[in-house]
Every structure is written in structure tokens, then in C-alpha cells.
């Protein structure tokens, strides 16, 4: 039903991107934390998001790590993260020597469940990192209230939600710091890259130094930056603390600046496509399109549909239903992905850490029975569209075709599942 070749491939790269890259090559400056594209990106994004400070990094993960470090998370601290996210949210906590404590999510926005947050707080809890999954801001205020009441640092993982809004505010600017990913599948794709925003000068300065080997490099040094000697600034070569090399490159920053200019357009198109699709799928029995709370404007990095086949009278395990839908939708020409197939604490790393810490006093458990909602979401849902062909750039007619294909397949699901397996 979905015509081959009708999809728009992501990222969309056109003459503006070509021009931006050529501009860097002609200038001949490829890197530097004070280099013009990097500083241009930081200024433009800070202004776009309404934040005081912005730091460009080489990935969303490094931006998260710098945010935790800058906010004051230390080795041994516990940091609350959701069980349904990309591993980087928890990995950044480990990079800081801290301990991720996973909590279950709520099924509406797939964001961390505030009640679970409260219950997970212990004497070593230092920070909480809600994730705006798939571009739909999570219910942030209750989490911010808990953080304020219990003295926790609030850091937003907005990797998938660039340009989304929560109660009128740019997602990622509500907490002490917010982080974004500029990896190729994201809404501002530059290959690999990340951004950190904060209004807090101390957080910014600590993150700034840690981005470059812990050197006492100050943003003010920009005044003496010399385009004719970009590699010979007034660097003291004196590391005051442990740091990393989390700088990004001029080519990536130039691409990201170009993508930033088109971000509102893609986000609006993603929203219109998602609204159309949800209108068409909402009335199918047992189908739950993504819910959009009244106080958010999502950016729809992904479009996840939850399935309950019992409403069709089908008595089959949720994963069997999901897998049959994926297969049939792909046969119709739809792009479909599952993305995460288990709660993040179910990944080998965390199960190994869980086994290694068995019997230790005060250990944090990664037992999977703590995450029934996350488990149910990953078992019962699929994402329409994919990383290569996401919902944002697709034409309306294609989205209509997806709605037709989905409706047809869902209505015939009982028949599909009752067929004897061929071969």
C-alpha cells in the first residue's frame, strides 16, 4: 500500500548544508572550542532555547556527562533515571562514577513516573534525570517539585526532544541543565554532536573546563581568539581537574547551525503528520497512538503505537501480536522499528553489575520485576517510521498511506495470527 520510493530520507541535506561545509573548508579552521562555527552554534542555540549558556560537545552522551559533572554529581552518588530510555542516560551517570537508579515510566508520555521517583530517593540520591522520550516532554512539574523539596539536582535528557515545549518552555531549560543529541537520527542532525544548556554560571564553567581536559579555559578567552592563529591561543596548558576531550568539530557545528534554521519547519511537519496519523488510528479498537498532554508541544522524534489485540478478540502473547504487526506492516511497505526491546537495566551491563553487587550492603537492585510498565510498553508497542525515514520530513500523502496500511493490517490481525505458519 505504501509506494516504494515515496519516503524522504533523513537527514535532509541540501544546498545550505553544502554551503556551510564549503565555508568551513574555505576558512581552513577545523576545530577549537573558540572557533567560529562552534561559538556561532552555541550562541544561536542558547538564544533559540532561551538559555543563558550553551556548550557544544561531541555527543549527547558527553553533554549529559558534563551536565552531571557541572551540576556537582560525584562518585558514589545515586542518580535516578527512567528504565525506558537510550542507554546513554544511565551510561553518563556511570562515566561520572555515580550509580544509576532506574525507575519505571508512566504509559502516557513514557516519562519517569513521579511516584516511583519519590520512592527511589535514598540518603545517597543526588540527582534526577527525566527523559523527554521520542520528543514528547514528560510530566516535568511533579518531578521538579520533588527535586526541589528533596534537594535534588534536576537535569533533563532532551536528546530526542529538540524544540519541544513543556508549559511554554523549551524542553531542556526547566531543570538546572538540559542536554541534546545532534547524532544523525536526531532533529538537528550533524553526524555526531551534542549540546548542553544551563542558566547557572557555575555549572557552565565547570562543564566548560571539563570539556577540555579540565583546563582553566575561560569563555572570556574568546576576546583574544585570533582567526589567523586558531591553534595558538592563550592556552595555559594547565589542567586544574580531571577533564575529557569532549569538543566538537567545525564541520559538525556548521552543519548543526544550518539544521537549526530548519528545525521549526521539521518539528511543525512532524507534529502535523503525527496528528493526522493519530486521528486515523485512534478509533481502531485496541490501538493507542502517542498521547499528547495539553501542556506540551512535542517534536515527535519517534511515533510509538501501543497495541492491545484482546480488543479484537485475539488471545495471543503481546510480543507475538507486535511481531506479526511489524512483519505485515513491512510487507505493506511501511518503515517500522522496535527501538529498545527491553528496559535499559535489562541490558547485559546492568545485569552484570547487579550480579556483582549481590550481597553488598546498600546495593542498588536492577531486578527487572521493578519495571512492569516499561516491560509492557516494549512488548506491546512498535514505532511507525524509522531512524532513516522518520515521521518529520514525510509528505502528508505518505502518512495517509501509512494510516490505510495500518488499518487494513490491524483489522486482519485475527486472520493473520490464525494462519498456520508456512515452511
Ligand X SMILES: Cc1ncc(COP(=O)(O)O)c(C=O)c1O
| Min CB(422)–ligand X separation in Å | 37
Can residue 136 be called a binding residue for ligand X (CB under 6 A)?
no
| Position among 11, 60, 82, 175 found at the interface with ligand X (CB under 6 A) | 60
Residue selected from 130, 194, 243, 346 as contacting ligand X according to rule CB under 6 A: 194
Q: Which of 326, 273, 267, 277 is nearest to 297 (CA)?
A: 267
Distances (CA, A) of 255 to 6, 182, 272, 313: 25, 10, 25, 50
Which of 85-93, 111-119, 290-298, 332-340 is the region at the interface with ligand X (rule: CB under 6 A)?
Answer: 85-93
Site for ligand X in 169-188 (CB under 6 A): 181, 183
Q: Does 160 bind ligand X (CB under 6 A)?
A: yes
Q: Which of 17, 78, 113, 157 binds ligand X (CB under 6 A)?
A: 157
- Tracing cell 538564544 back to the chain, one arrives at 47
Between 182 and 324, CB nearer to ligand X? 182
| Separation of alpha carbons 8 and 12, rounded Å | 8
If 0-12 CB within 10 Å is exposed, 13-18 middle and 19+ buried, where does residue 413 land? Answer: buried
Closest distance to ligand X from the beta carbon of 331 (Å): 28
Rounded CA-CA distance 407/413 in Å is 10
> From the CB of 266, what's the least distance to ligand X, in Å?
17
Q: Do you find a cis peptide bond into 11, omega within 30 degrees of 0?
A: yes
State which residue has the least CB distance to ligand X.
Answer: 60
Judged by CB, which is closer to ligand X: 78, or 157?
157
Q: Is 78 in the site for ligand X (CB under 6 A)?
A: no
Q: Which of 33, 61, 273, 306 binds ligand X (CB under 6 A)?
A: 61
- In angstroms, the Cα distances linking 337 to 33, 329, 341, 381, 388 are 37, 11, 10, 10, 10
CB distance 78 to 357 below 8 Å: no
Beta 53-57 vs 336-337: how paired, if at all?
Answer: unpaired
CB nearer to ligand X: pick between 62 and 394: 62
How does strand 194-198 pair with strand 177-181?
A: antiparallel
When the beta carbons of 183 and 278 are compared against ligand X, the nearer one is 183
Cβ pair 399, 273 in contact under 8 A: yes
CA distance 409 to 415: 10
Q: Is 59 in the site for ligand X (CB under 6 A)?
A: yes
Coil/strand/helix, residue 217? coil
Is 249 a binder of ligand X (CB under 6 A)?
Answer: no
Q: 94 or 316, CB closer to ligand X?
A: 94
Q: What is the smallest separation between the CB atom of 237 and ligand X, expressed in angstroms?
A: 28
Query: Nearest to residue 196, comparing CAs of 172, 168, 163, 171?
Result: 172
Selected range binding ligand X among 82-90, 196-204, 276-284, 309-317, rule: CB under 6 A: 82-90
- 182 vs 325, beta carbon nearer ligand X: 182
The stretch among 56-64, 140-148, 232-240, 398-406 that binds ligand X (CB under 6 A) is 56-64
Query: Which of the ranges 54-62, 266-274, 354-362, 395-403 carries the binding residues for ligand X, by CB under 6 A?
Result: 54-62
The footprint of ligand X (CB under 6 A) covers 59-61, 85-86, 88-89, 131, 157, 159-160, 181, 183, 194
Amino acid at each position: 500500500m505504501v509506494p516504494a520510493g515515496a519516503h524522504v530520507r533523513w537527514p535532509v541535506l541540501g544546498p545550505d548544508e553544502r554551503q556551510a561545509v564549503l565555508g568551513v573548508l574555505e576558512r581552513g579552521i577545523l576545530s577549537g572550542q573558540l572557533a567560529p562555527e562552534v561559538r556561532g552554534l552555541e550562541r544561536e542555540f542558547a538564544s533559540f532555547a532561551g538559555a543563558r549558556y550553551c556548550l557544544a560537545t561531541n555527543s549527547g552522551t558527553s553533554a549529559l556527562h558534563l551536565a552531571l559533572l557541572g551540576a556537582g554529581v560525584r562518585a558514589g552518588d545515586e542518580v535516578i533515571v527512567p528504565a525506558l530510555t537510550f542507554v546513554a542516560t544511565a551510561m553518563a551517570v556511570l562515566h561520572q562514577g555515580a550509580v544509576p537508579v532506574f525507575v519505571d515510566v508512566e504509559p502516557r508520555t513514557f516519562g519517569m513516573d513521579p511516584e516511583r521517583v519519590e520512592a527511589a530517593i535514598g540518603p545517597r540520591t543526588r540527582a534526577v534525570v527525566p527523559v523527554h522520550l521520542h520528543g514528547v516532554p514528560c510530566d516535568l512539574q511533579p518531578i521538579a517539585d520533588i527535586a526541589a523539596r528533596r534537594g535534588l539536582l534536576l537535569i533533563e535528557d532532551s536528546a530526542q526532544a529538540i524544540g519541544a515545549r513543556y508549559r511554554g518552555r523549551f524542553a531542556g531549560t526547566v531543570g538546572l541543565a538540559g542536554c541534546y543529541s545532534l547524532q544523525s537520527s536526531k532533529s538537528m542532525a550533524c553526524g555526531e554532536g551534542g549540546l548542553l544548556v544551563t542558566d547557572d554560571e557555575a555549572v557552565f564553567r565547570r562543564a566548560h573546563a571539563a570539556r577540555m581536559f579540565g583546563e582553566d579555559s575561560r569563555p572570556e578567552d574568546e576576546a583574544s581568539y585570533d582567526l589567523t592563529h586558531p591553534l595558538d591561543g592563550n592556552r595555559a596548558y594547565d589542567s586544574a581537574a580531571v577533564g575529557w576531550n569532549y569538543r566538537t568539530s567545525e564541520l559538525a557545528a556548521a552543519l548543526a547551525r544550518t539544521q537549526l534554521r530548519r528545525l521549526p519547519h521539521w518539528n511543525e511537519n512532524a507534529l502535523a503528520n503525527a496528528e493526522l496519523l493519530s486521528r486515523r488510528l485512534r478509533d481502531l479498537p485496541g490501538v493507542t497512538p502517542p498521547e499528547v498532554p495539553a501542556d506540551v508541544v512535542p517534536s515527535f522524534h519517534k511515533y510509538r503505537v501501543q497495541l492491545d489485540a484482546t480488543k479484537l478478540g485475539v488471545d495471543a502473547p503481546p510480543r507475538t501480536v507486535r511481531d506479526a504487526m511489524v512483519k505485515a506492516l513491512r510487507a505493506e511497505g511501511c518503515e517500522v522499528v522496535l527501538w529498545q526491546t527491553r528496559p535499559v537495566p535489562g541490558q547485559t551491563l546492568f545485569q552484570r553489575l547487579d550480579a556483582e553487587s549481590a550481597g553488598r550492603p546498600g546495593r542498588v537492585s536492577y531486578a527487572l520485576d521493578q519495571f512492569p510498565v516499561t516491560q509492557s510498553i516494549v512488548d506491546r508497542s512498535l514505532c511507525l517510521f524509522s531512524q532513516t525515514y522518520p515521521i518529520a520530513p514525510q509528505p502528508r500523502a505518505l502518512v495517509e498511506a501509512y494510516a490505510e496500511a495500518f488499518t487494513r493490517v490491524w483489522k486482519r490481525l485475527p486472520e493473520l495470527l490464525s494462519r498456520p505458519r508456512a515452511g
